[in-house]
């Protein structure tokens, strides 16, 4: 069981395309592949979101969504605006664990950047803390990228050093 985490320096930096490319590569190697998106925002029910794009680009990948919220905001804010409850940290961890137990490779694509809240008090780092995940950081091409990337990588390294994530 391999768990890969795809995070970004920001929103709209290409995480979904990178996730699809990794999924397609793993599929081409004969592995069973799943993608988990703990929270998808800015997409209404019945609309195609990131997971549909991954299936379109990568093909036969199993996809799983933790929660979908219509407002294009951080998941905790989008839920609060609508008065909705988000899946708990335990529920998000269980989703990843269940999916990972059924596939050779499970890719977990975050929302926005590394420290975006997926619940009231947790991030993707917290969701993946129990797993020996390999992290991929996606950065946009443009001015400010080096700083955003360094900040993201430092936060990730700090979490690894504190035992909150694996490298």
Residue 15 among the catalytic residues? no
Reduced to 3 DSSP states, what percent helix, strand and coil does the chain have, rounded to the nearest 5? Answer: 40, 20, 40
Please state, as a whole number, how many other Cβ atoms lie within 10 Å of the Cβ of residue 31: 13
In contact, 141 and 107? CB cutoff 8 Å: no
Catalytic residue among 7, 20, 33, 37: 37
Q: Tell me the CA end-to-end span of the chain in Å, nearest whole number.
A: 16
CA dist., res. 135 & res. 166, Å (int): 8
Phi, psi (degrees; rounded to nearest 5) at 122: -145, 155
Contact 130, 3 (CB under 8 A): no
Contact yes or no for 9/137 (Cβ under 8 A)? yes
Active site residues: 37
């Amino acid at each position: 069981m391999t768990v890969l985490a795809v995070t970004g320096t920001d929103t709209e930096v290409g995480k979904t395309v990178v996730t699809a490319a990794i999924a397609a590569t793993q599929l081409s190697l004969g592995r069973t592949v799943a993608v988990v998106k703990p929270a998808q925002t800015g997409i209404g029910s019945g609309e195609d979101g990131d997971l549909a794009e991954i299936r379109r680009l990568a093909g036969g990948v199993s996809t799983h969504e933790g929660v979908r919220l219509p407002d294009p905001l951080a998941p905790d804010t989008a839920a609060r605006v609508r008065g909705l409850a988000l899946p708990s940290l335990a529920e998000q961890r269980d989703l990843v664990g269940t999916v990972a137990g059924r596939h050779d490779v499970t890719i977990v694509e975050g929302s926005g950047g590394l420290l975006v809240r997926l619940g009231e008090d947790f991030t993707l780092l917290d969701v993946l803390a129990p797993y020996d995940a390999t992290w991929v950081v996606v950065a946009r091409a443009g001015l400010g990228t080096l700083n955003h990337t360094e900040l993201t990588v430092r936060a990730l390294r700090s979490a690894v050093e504190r035992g909150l994530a694996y490298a």
